[in-house]
Structure 1
């Protein structure tokens, strides 16, 4: 018992000295984040050695997201910080403040930059941050701004593709759900936002919405539900189109049919290219030239060399993608560039 008390007194003495040293280091301003993290990790290791394992709670690693002052990101950041750091009673208050400082950037860091590292100032820092970035009306306004500024692909001729439509749907849904969590329902702004979203949709989707959405011109929830179902329908249609095209019959032109019948022979498909060779123009959903083009990269209804997903990559990334699919660098056909008849 006496030995245990002696060790406890020694550990408490060392803990006091280590805490004072850490405070002096932070107050001096002569430290970097790397050196600060190193000091904290050394502090944890020493603490584990001098105290019984049952009394030690290892401090969480600095794996929380950074916060730079974006109002729409404040609530997510603070909820995570509060759950992992602030509510952990085994972490000393000064250490909580240290973690908080290390996770702030930009305007957020500037908000509490004048506070010294003390237990009292940790509470002050929370109040300052909540007052600056946690005001519900300001967060709501920022989410509304994001919704009004949603403009992901509107002028693109491929805006009706499911991948593009999902991006629009998911961006809007994220902001709407965030507003609902703040107590703001879609009925408060749907009458303004719904026409703006409809304006961004392809004509054929707007026409379908007009057919089923009479009397719901300001119902944002109905529009999102309709858009979700419409995208799923297009995905199914696209899948069936690809499958049908892959096994469909070859289309024969009238002139080919006539030439075959006049010669008393069965008509045969023209052999424009060597066996095993294809081209960007020949990458169709089926072997006939009248079928809908099918992109080998995103499976959209366009020629492969017009794929926005591919053209949006840098040169090296495009090369890697083409090489991975085993396509020709010249014409994107299903053969090597050295075998391409269009090369040179």
Structure 2
């Protein structure tokens, strides 16, 4: 009886997944021709379908035989792919609704007034500036954020960029350039002084490696604990890649370190997947394979926690 009930839920899951994909694909292919009412209806239908799909999936996860079924992780991957399609389509539909409403509002305004609006001179908007901690290992991240937010803005003068830079620095770092006049011709000089002092790649690499090897194991079988390990590892690898370190060749080390930090059940599931893999022996699992597994596993833990809390 339980098997039959589970099979019914699986069929429902397949049907809802197919309907969601249909609504997404058909809608996106004709979004430019949609009027406001049609687009709003598409959003409502998509949300209702997704809620039904998610609710059925959570019930399926609670089935005692489902996690032991060979298609379990295949279905989990399809669920993640469907969610991705749903979120992209929903975002585009909602943006289209906003654009259509804005056009309607503009059209109404044009009917009310025939005089052109007055041009108002406004100040530049405030920039949400990053703060540099003063630590070597945080310099690269600060450098890229500051360059993206400030250096790339051609409308800002070098003198203004210099003021922005000084406002982002802690006392120790600021003391290196505080003696320089706040002027356009000193900005590049200040940036070079800071780069020479803080972009010590060997020191930064060592600190990131120390952090990578000191990540604590999962303290409980919780999605948040798995997320902590995934997020911290990804952050460190991104920073090492930015420094030109060959992290793409570190698969064996990264897999060994990461697996050792997982809960025992997740370790066993990973080992089972590796043992049953169709890959030939000469093609061992990569860190990308593990990362894909961890993303699905984390999402599964989140759904299980949600189901238990209800």
Normalized against structure 2, the TM-score is what?
0.50
Question: Which structure is larger by alpha-carbon Rg, 1 or 2?
Answer: 1
Q: Comparing both structures, which one devotes a greater share of its residues to helix? A: 2
Higher relative contact order by CA 8 Å / sep ≥ 6: 1 or 2? 2
